[in-house]
Structure 1
Amino acid sequence: MAQGGEMSTTAEVMAHLASGNACQQDAYHVLQSSGLLDILADYHPYPAGTVPIDIDIPGSDLDLLCYAEDLDVFEAEIHNRIGAVAEFKCIRGGDLPDQRPYVTCNLQVGHWPVEIFAQSVPVNKQNAYLHMIVEWRLLQLWETRDTVRSAG
């Protein structure tokens, strides 16, 4: 884990998942064995969402954020590399004036639904990343507050 309790790199998130609870460890093994991180390596994949910060519920998916300068190239490459995987589909979005274009690909890996989100924005500047980091910080503050209350 990075300084301040944040998981700023994919390696840090994966180490966190590998040593986390049973669900997180399962997610780690699925991501490792599926080869998705290797397939997406050129796009700086980052595991995000509810699983890394331990607020997932039954049915939660594994989210992978990616940085793709050219979404057409990204979509074509991903379709060619993993398009045959169960329940694979991609959609384009971002047609609203205040929204950047993106591609979302969904697939099933074992018992996990996986969502791959790509945008021509570095991962650490994407809304999903920023949202997760804020949630993580809040959870850390609440945990610290509860620890102080119980000790006092």
Structure 2
Amino acid sequence: MRNWEDIGYLQIGTSRQRQAHAAFERLGILATLNAFGPVLAGTIPLNIDLPSSDLDLICEVPQLALADFQLLLRQHYGHLPRFSLQETMVRGCPSVVGGFEAEGFAWEVFGQPQPTRAQHAVRHLLVEYAVLEAGGEAWRQAVLTLKRQGLKTEPAFAQLLQLPGDPYAALLTLENLTSAELRQRLPPLRP
């Protein structure tokens, strides 16, 4: 199982993943956000990204530190193109969402007062990784095809997995399956 807290895997990945790793190094963002346990989620770690895909960093930010987290983002990245920062409620939880462009990538930094592994973006990452590991290259290509047709990542997975209802919630129903159970649940891909 991959250690998602360490982006070293990007160094031996695809060209885009290697570019992302270099961007992390040049920006120094992991050191800046280290106290918040950042985890890279989204499509680039899974090699199902499109040219417009961003780098999504998920952070654990104690509720009392949300203002400090915003200040940190503003101080370090407020000067960058397309900088944005907002505090909002996500699934009933106070959250901070920051965004900017740097080093050839769009970045989104998301913080909530809960462990990163409990946050939906990381939970989705883990399920999607498990599905891709079980389904192999054919599943990766099928997800990419649907994404190129305009579907977001979670709806693409849910469609291929034939999961009814809200795709974001439906994907999470698979998170406790073993690799063998997940392989058995994968429906055949349609040509």
- The question of a shared fold, defined as TM-score above 0.5 by the shorter chain, is answered with yes
Aligned partner of 1:50: which letter?
Answer: T
Deviations, residues 108-139 of structure 1 (Å, cap 9, x unaligned):
01220000000111101101000110000001
Corresponding residue pairs, total: 137
Secondary structure of 2:110's aligned partner: strand
Aligned to 1:67: 60
Give the deviation of 1:38 after TM superposition.
Answer: 1.0
Is it true that 1:104 corresponds to 2:104 in the alignment? Answer: no
2-side partners of 1:27 and 1:145: how far apart? Answer: 24
2-side partners of 1:72 and 1:112: how far apart? Answer: 25
Deviations, residues 48-87 of structure 1 (Å, cap 9, x unaligned):
1100011101100011111110211111122122211222
Deviations, residues 2-58 of structure 1 (Å, cap 9, x unaligned):
xxx3x33421xx121110010100001001111111111111111111000111011
Aligned to 1:35: 28
Aligned partner of 2:72: which letter?
Answer: E
2-side partners of 1:91 and 1:84: how far apart? Answer: 16
Structure 1 unaligned residues grouped into runs of 5+ = 147-152
Is it true that 1:128 corresponds to 2:127 in the alignment? Answer: no
Aligned to 2:79: 84
- Relative contact order, CA 8 A, sep 6+: which one is greater? 1
Distance change in 2, residues 1:29/1:144 (3 Å):
closer
Aligned partner of 2:29: which letter?
Answer: L
Aligned partner of 1:137: which letter?
Answer: A
Give the deviation of 1:145 after TM superposition.
Answer: 9.1
Is it true that 1:118 corresponds to 2:144 in the alignment? Answer: no
Q: Which stretches of structure 1, 4 residues or more, deviate above 6 A after TM superposition? A: none
Q: Does the Cα contact within 8 Å between 2:61 and 2:113 map onto a contact in 1?
A: yes
Structure 2 unaligned residues grouped into runs of 5+ = 140-191
2-side partners of 1:28 and 1:144: how far apart? Answer: 23
Give the deviation of 1:92 after TM superposition.
Answer: 1.5
2-side partners of 1:114 and 1:144: how far apart? Answer: 27
Output the TM-score relative to the length of structure 1.
0.84
1-side partners of 2:20 and 2:137: how far apart? Answer: 26
1-side partners of 2:23 and 2:137: how far apart? Answer: 31
